[in-house]
Amino acid sequence: DAGVTQSPTHLIKTRGQQVTLRCSPKSGHDTVSWYQQALGQGPQFIFQYYEEEERQRGNFPDRFSGHQFPNYSSELNVNALLLGDSALYLCASSPAGTGLYEQYFGPGTRLTVT
């Protein structure tokens, strides 16, 4: 089992550009959550996808959007990048079942906006 995988590992973009990050969940997991982690801080919840729909959303602007595919993989899209979007973006997966299961995290994508 490959666990949760994310691509790319690192990414450098310019202000105003758009970026797409990808996540494949652990085998058997159908729920995917995305987090943003700034240096020295804990992860901040962006949103969660289940059955190809956004189930919950944190306090992030509409520039942050996502998608989940029928195979449960997911994408995070960020438009009109700002310098403050520079962070480690983490994807987590879990089986369906509110509160019952651990979240498993991928290694993250390090996004740098210049």
Binding site for other proteins (CB under 8 A): 4, 31, 33, 35, 40-45, 48, 50, 55-56, 58, 88, 90, 92, 98-108, 110
The residue among 114, 112, 109, 113 whose CA lies nearest residue 21 is: 109
- What is the smallest separation between the CB atom of 66 and other proteins, expressed in angstroms? 13
Q: How many helices (H) and strands (E) does the chain have?
A: 0, 11
Q: Please tell me the distance from the alpha carbon of residue 21 to that of residue 40, in angstroms, as a whole number.
A: 22
Question: Is the Cβ of residue 17 or residue 74 nearer to other proteins in the bound state?
Answer: 74
Question: Is the Cβ of residue 33 or residue 74 nearer to other proteins in the bound state?
Answer: 33
- What is the smallest separation between the CB atom of 16 and other proteins, expressed in angstroms? 27
- What is the smallest separation between the CB atom of 32 and other proteins, expressed in angstroms? 11
Yes or no: say if 48 and 64 are a contact pair by the CB < 8 Å rule. Answer: no
